[in-house]
Structures are given as structure tokens and as C-alpha cells.
């Protein structure tokens, strides 16, 4: 890896525009337990930005954003106790509340959340160097997800308000909460991926503990006061700190009923194994992926390049859905790679607040060195960096296009989760099928081409190996009404606006024989509106 201080212009502190700055000291050390926003007096973690300040002598230092609480084990237990009390065997205020009351609380929270947009967007820019445009999009998409979730719950409630008659039985079937949910989101979408599990879990009546990711935790702080105001004590708890100290005791207690975890399969396995009663633990995970793109011989190369650049390098490739390996057919491989390299080299690098910027610094420590080691492994085995990439300046890494990548190279199998674009050559579609069969992952694939027969063959060969096939477009999660999941080590459970409601609930039924006495019993309960479950009330 080449070190090049002219690669990206890190600003002097005085050069940061006022429209991008934020004084985050008011958010230092905050956490939320048992309905109270508290400030932690104990040890704290420094939050250092991937954005560096350039000193007069040219030296670079990661900007200090603020401090997050490094909670201790005793506080983690207090948090768990608060959530367990809020659950109270399903009799707590939140799990037993009527759906209309829960929706009203979530709607109120959403209004208050909107008021915090600017602070959250600025913190996302500083904490993880997400561009202004992407940070705004993450916030707005999250708000829209909540709005859509509220509508989906209303629809579910309308369906559940009916009684079913079958084989001489009357039954009312509703989805009920599962218990204490521990949500852990990732650093790349710290708000969106946390809320796409936290909100459905909460709205279905489960008390939630949100353990924030190491990078992207501060962006949650502006929302804690609204959570405390809108939800009953213990219904939502937000904590940070070292995973082993905070999450370990929660899992080993056996009191966590659902683990919603977006991150690596390695950590997911550690956490689930800590639970003493594995049969009681439901897990919803989003893990690694190695999504390929396939460039068929008749693909529109310019269009494929546009989609592959965006698919591989949006947010510097730090997306689980990113394209992480491209298979180009031998007949077009050289032409495709030439266009791809030029397009990657044309991407503008800079600070998150600069207009038109596509590449920004990376939050993970030593990430440039990690990526460069993957590239070096490929180069040692015969590949080349064919663009002006694999150059770093402190936290910034210029994307490398690596070609041709072959199975003995780490880049062929390992998830790089960063700005490296490996390209392999293939001759026959069966090689793509074989790659997916042997891969540990099975999230998505993107196919570029026009040949009906080849595409039909690949769709049928691959549809039972991945969870989404994208035709002439990059891999992605959205629209959020579409199922988002994966096979093998890529995911467990399915998320979408409607699927997530199912993941965080279980169907319960009240049933009786349809005789006159039972009908009268049920009708009396419904008419007196004395039960939240046995009820024909619904929300329009
Ligand atoms: O990192 C995984 C994200 O859920 C991907 O979402 O495809 O919309 O960027 P996206």
C-alpha cells in the first residue's frame, strides 16, 4: 500500500464549515435505563471521528466527537432488570397495552424524532464519515420505516379483530409479544439497522434493550429524551460499552428472549452460545455476505459499470449488501475492467460535508492496512491493482480494483467490507453456480445481461442459494416492503416492514367449541370490552 498524504484533503479545524460542525458535549456519557436518561460518571470511551484535523505542521489527528458511557456489569444488570420488570411475564404496562395506545406512543416518538434530524445527521457524518446525502437518507428512510410499520400494524390489527370458525371451533388469533428483546445494530447503518429491529420489536409489545454499536452510538443520543418521554419505564433501554461487560451478563442470565443482531457471524455465535436455555432464545440476525455481480457477454457494459461502482463502493463498500466480487465473462472482461477502473478513479474523495463527495475516510481502526493485506495476498498470487487504488492517507483508503481474482485468493471468498473491488473471469455460467454452492454466504447476487436463456438458467440455478437476485441492478435491501434476508451464514429470519412484525411476535389463539354457551361467553366479553385480546376493536 502506498502512503500518499495528497490523496485526500483533511481539513484544519478552522476549515470545517459551520453548517457541518456540532458540539456534542451535551450528549457525552448519556444512556437510558428504566425510563430515565442518565449521565454516566464512570469510565467513558472517546469517540474519535474518521475525519482527521490537519495541524499546521501537516500532522493528522482524528477529530474528537465526544464520549460514550463505558457501562459496567452492575449497570448492565440494572438495565436487564428494568426490561424484565417492564415485561412482567407479559403483564407489564407496555406488553399489555392496547395496540392503539402503543401506536400512539410510537407516533408521538416519531414526531419528536423528526425534530432531532439535524443533530443525528451531523453526528452520522462525524462518527462514521457518512456523506451528508447518505446520512440524511438514512434518517429519512428510518422515519419512513416507522410510519410504514405503524400502517402495517393497523392492517394486522384489522385482520386480527375477526373471529375464525373452523371444524366446530371459534378462535381469535392475534400476534403477541415474545418478551425481552436485545437489539444490536451495526456501525454502517447505526440508526437504520438498529431501528428496523427495535421499532418492530417495541411496537409488538416487547420491552427492548438496545446495545449501541461502537461507532455510531452518539447519533442515538439526541433521541433518548424522546424515548424516555414517549414510552413507559423499562420499555426501551439504550446502553453502550464493552460487549463482554454489558452484553455477556445479559445473555448468560437467560432473561433475553430474542436477540436481534446485525454484525458478524463470529459474534452472533458467541452471544447465542452464552444463553443458558437456547431453546427459549429466538434469534434474528443479519450477518456477512459476499454478493457477486455477474457480467454476461451481452451486458450493457456502461450501465453495468455504473451499477457495480455504486453497488461496490456506496459508503465505501461498507454495506452488507455491497457487491463484493464481480465475475466478468472472458469475452468482455478486459473491456469491462478498463471502464470500471476509470469510473472508480473518477470518484470524488473528500469530507462528508463536501458536495458531490463519494469516498470518505473509514471508521474502523487500521482498516486501510486490513484491506491492503487482502490486496497484497491477491497480488502475491498473480492479480494486479489495475487502477490508481490501494493508496492510503491515515483513515482514508483509495479503492483498489483487483484483477483477475482466482479461488486461491482471500478476496475471492472473504468479505472485505470496504473499498476493494475484486474482479474474476469466468467462461461458463456453471462456475457462478459453483461459487455460490461453495460460498459460506447466500444473501444476494446481481446479473447483468440481456440473454433470456442465460438469465433464466442462472435465476433457476441460484434462486435457492441466495435470497434475492437483482437483474441489471446492484444488490440492495430496499424497498423496505421487500423481504430482506439471506441463507447459510448470511442471516437468520426475515426483515421487511411486515416480516419484522412476525419475527418479534408469536400467534396466540383463544379457542372454544362453537356452542351457544361459549358464543354467549365470548360475545359478553367482547361487548363489555373487558379484554384487550378478545376484542373486535380495530384501528382505521
Ligand atoms: O448493510 C446492510 C444494509 O441493510 C444495506 O442496506 O442495501 O439499502 O444499503 P442498503
Secondary structure (DSSP) of 331-356: TTHHHHHHHHHHHHHTSPB--TTSTT
Same domain, 441 and 428: yes
Backbone angles phi, psi at 539, to 5 degrees: -110, 130
Question: Which residue in 42, 99, 105, 98 sits closest to 233, CA to CA?
Answer: 105
Question: Which of 235, 267, 286 is the endpoint of a domain?
Answer: 286
Average pLDDT for the chain:
97
The whole-number pLDDT of residue 3 equals 76
Q: Are residues 209 and 345 in the same domain?
A: no
Looking at residue 272, what is its pLDDT? 98
Give the residue, out of 307, 446, 476, with the most ligand 1 atoms within 8 A of its beta carbon, to mutate for a pocket test: 476
Compute the distance from residue 137 Cα to the ligand 1 centre, in Å: 12
Q: Which letter, b or e, does each residue of 74-88 get, where b requires 16 or more Cβ atoms within 10 Å of its Cβ?
A: ebbeebbebbbebbe
- For residue 211 and ligand 1, the question of a CB distance below 6 A is answered with no
Q: Is 288 in the pocket of ligand 1 (CB under 6 A)?
A: no
Does 257 map to a domain? yes
CA of 413 to the centre of ligand 1 (A): 20
Q: Is the residue at 59 inside a domain? A: no
Both 374 and 262 in one domain: the answer is: no
**275 with 152, same domain?**
yes
Other beta carbons less than 10 A from residue 93's beta carbon = 15
CA distance 222 to 218: 8
pLDDT at residue number 1:
74
Is residue 87 within 8 A of residue 95, CB to CB? The reply is yes
The answer to whether position 361 is within a domain reads yes
CB 404 within 8 A of CB 424: yes
Choose one of 135, 137, 189, 291 to mutate for the ligand 1 pocket test, by most ligand atoms within 8 angstroms of C-beta: 189
pLDDT in tens, the chain (540 residues): 777 777 999 999 999 999 999 999 999 999 999 999 999 999 999 999 999 999 999 999 999 999 999 999 999 999 999 999 999 999 999 999 999 999 999 999 999 999 999 999 999 999 999 999 999 999 999 999 999 999 999 999 999 999 999 999 999 999 999 999 999 999 999 999 999 999 999 999 999 999 999 999 999 999 999 999 999 999 999 999 999 999 999 999 999 999 999 999 999 999 999 999 999 999 999 999 999 999 999 999 999 999 999 999 999 999 999 999 999 999 999 999 999 999 999 999 999 999 999 999 999 999 999 999 999 999 999 999 999 999 999 999 999 999 999 999 999 999 999 999 999 999 999 999 999 999 999 999 999 999 999 999 999 999 999 999 999 999 999 999 999 999 999 999 999 999 999 999 999 999 999 999 999 999 999 999 999 999 999 888
Rounded distance from Cα 42 to ligand 1 centre (Å)? 35
360 and 389 assigned to the same domain: yes
Q: What is the CATH number of the domain that holds 456?
A: 3.40.309.10
Strands 384-385 and 236-239: unpaired
**Is the minimum distance from the CB of 102 to ligand 1 under 6 angstroms?**
no
Which pLDDT does position 540 carry in this prediction? 86
* 439: in domain: yes
Residues 358 and 464 in one domain: yes
Whether 213 and 314 share a structural domain: no
Boundary-marking domain end, from 257, 286, 315? 286
Predicted model pTM: 0.97
**Beta-carbon contacts of residue 98 (< 8 Å; ≥ 6 apart):** 532, 537
Is residue 321 located within the same domain as residue 399? yes
- 3-state SS assignment for residue 326: strand
pLDDT tens-digit series, residues 317-375:
999 999 999 999 999 999 999 999 999 999 999 999 999 999 999 999 999 999 999 99
What is the span of the domain harbouring residue 382?
291-486
Q: CB count, 10 Å around CB of 438?
A: 9
- Confirm or reject: Cβ of 321 under 6 Å from ligand 1: yes
The enclosing domain of 133 has a CATH number of 3.40.605.10
Q: Is 476 in the pocket of ligand 1 (CB under 6 A)?
A: yes
Say how many domains are in the chain: 2
Pair 266, 314 in one domain = no
One domain for residues 121 and 191: yes
Q: Are both 274 and 315 inside the same structural domain? A: no
Establish if 538 belongs to a structural domain: no
| Protein residue with its CA nearest to atom 7 in ligand 1 | 476
Both 222 and 311 in a single domain? no
For residue 110, being part of any structural domain is answered with yes
What's the pLDDT at 300?
Answer: 98
Judge whether 501 lies within some domain.
no
Cell 438458467 -> residue: 457
Residues 6 or more apart in contact with residue 113 via CB below 8 angstroms? 143, 146, 223, 226
Which residue, of 486, 501, 522, is where some domain finishes?
A: 486
Report the nearest-CA residue for atom 2 of ligand 1: 320
Q: For residue 237, tell me if it sits in a domain.
A: yes
- In degrees, to the nearest 5, what angle opens at C-alpha 159 toward C-alphas 158 and 160? 95
Q: Which alpha helices (H) appear in 69-207, and where do they start and end?
A: 73-87, 99-115, 117-128, 132-160, 192-203
Amino acid at each position: 500500500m502506498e502512503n500518499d498524504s495528497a490523496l485526500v484533503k483533511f481539513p484544519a479545524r478552522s476549515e470545517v464549515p459551520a453548517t457541518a460542525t456540532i458540539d456534542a458535549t451535551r450528549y457525552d456519557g448519556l444512556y437510558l435505563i428504566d425510563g430515565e436518561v442518565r449521565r454516566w460518571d464512570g469510565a467513558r470511551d472517546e469517540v474519535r471521528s474518521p475525519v482527521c484535523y490537519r495541524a499546521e505542521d501537516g500532522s493528522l489527528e482524528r477529530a474528537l466527537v465526544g464520549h460514550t458511557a463505558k457501562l459496567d456489569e452492575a449497570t448492565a444488570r440494572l438495565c436487564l432488570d428494568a426490561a424484565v420488570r417492564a415485561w412482567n411475564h407479559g403483564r407489564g404496562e407496555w406488553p399489555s397495552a392496547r395496540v392503539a395506545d402503543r401506536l400512539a406512543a410510537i407516533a408521538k416518538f416519531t414526531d419528536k424524532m423528526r425534530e432531532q434530524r439535524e443533530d443525528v445527521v451531523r453526528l452520522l457524518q462525524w462518527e462514521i464519515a457518512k456523506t451528508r446525502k447518505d446520512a440524511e437518507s438514512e434518517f429519512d428512510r428510518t422515519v419512513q420505516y416507522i410510519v410504514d410499520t405503524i400502517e402495517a400494524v393497523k392492517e394486522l390489527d384489522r385482520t386480527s379483530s375477526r373471529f375464525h370458525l373452523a371444524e366446530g371451533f371459534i378462535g381469535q388469533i392475534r400476534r403477541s409479544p415474545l418478551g425481552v428483546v436485545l437489539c444490536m445494530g451495526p456501525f454502517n447503518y447505526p440508526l437504520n439497522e438498529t431501528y428496523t429491529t427495535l421499532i418492530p420489536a417495541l411496537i409488538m409489545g416487547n420491552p427492548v434493550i438496545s446495545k449501541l454499536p461502537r461507532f455510531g452510538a452518539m447519533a442515538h443520543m439526541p433521541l433518548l429524551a424522546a424515548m424516555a418521554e414517549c414510552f413507559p419505564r423499562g420499555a426501551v433501554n439504550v446502553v453502550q460499552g464493552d460487549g463482554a461487560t454489558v452484553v455477556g451478563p445479559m445473555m448468560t442470565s437467560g432473561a433475553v428472549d430474542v436477540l436481534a443482531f446485525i454484525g458478524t457471524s463470529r459474534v452472533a455465535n458467541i452471544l447465542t452460545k452464552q444463553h443458558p436455555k437456547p431453546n427459549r432464545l429466538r434469534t434474528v440476525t443479519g450477518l456477512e455476505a459476499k454478493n457477486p455481480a455477474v457480467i454476461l457477454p451481452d451486458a450493457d457494459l456502461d450501465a453495468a459499470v455504473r451499477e457495480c461502482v455504486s453497488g461496490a463502493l456506496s459508503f465505501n463498500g461498507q454495506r452488507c449488501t455491497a457487491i463484493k466480487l464481480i465475475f466478468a465473462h472472458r469475452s468482455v472482461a478486459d473491456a469491462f475492467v478498463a471502464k470500471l477502473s476509470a469510473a472508480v478513479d473518477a470518484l470524488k474523495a473528500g469530507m462528508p460535508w463536501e458536495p458531490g463527495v463519494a469516498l470518505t475516510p473509514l471508521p474502523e481502526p487500521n482498516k486501510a492496512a486490513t484491506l491492503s493485506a487482502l490486496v497484497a495476498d491477491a497480488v502475491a498470487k498473480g492479480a494486479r491493482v489495475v487502477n490508481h487504488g490501494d493508496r492510503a492517507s491515515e483513515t482514508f483508503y483509495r479503492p483498489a480494483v483487483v484483477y483477475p481474482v482466482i479461488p486461491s485468493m482471500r478476496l475471492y471468498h472473504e468479505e472485505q467490507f470496504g473499498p476493494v473491488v475484486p474482479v474474476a473471469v469466468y467462461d461458463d455460467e456453471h462456475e457462478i453456480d459453483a461459487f455460490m454452492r461453495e460460498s459460506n454466504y447466500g444473501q444476494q447476487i446481481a446479473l447483468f445481461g440481456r440473454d433470456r436463456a442465460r438469465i433464466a438458467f442462472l435465476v433457476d440455478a441460484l434462486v435457492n442459494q441466495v435470497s434475492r437476485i437483482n437483474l441489471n441492478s446492484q444488490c440492495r435491501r430496499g424497498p423496505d416492503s421487500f423481504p430482506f434476508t439471506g441463507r447459510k451464514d448470511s442471516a437468520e429470519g426475515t426483515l421487511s416492514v411486515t416480516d419484522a412484525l412476525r419475527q418479534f411476535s408469536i400467534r396466540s389463539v383463544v379457542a372454544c367449541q362453537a356452542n351457544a354457551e361459549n358464543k354467549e361467553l365470548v360475545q359478553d366479553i367482547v361487548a363489555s370490552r373487558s379484554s384487550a385480546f378478545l376484542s373486535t376493536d380495530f384501528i382505521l
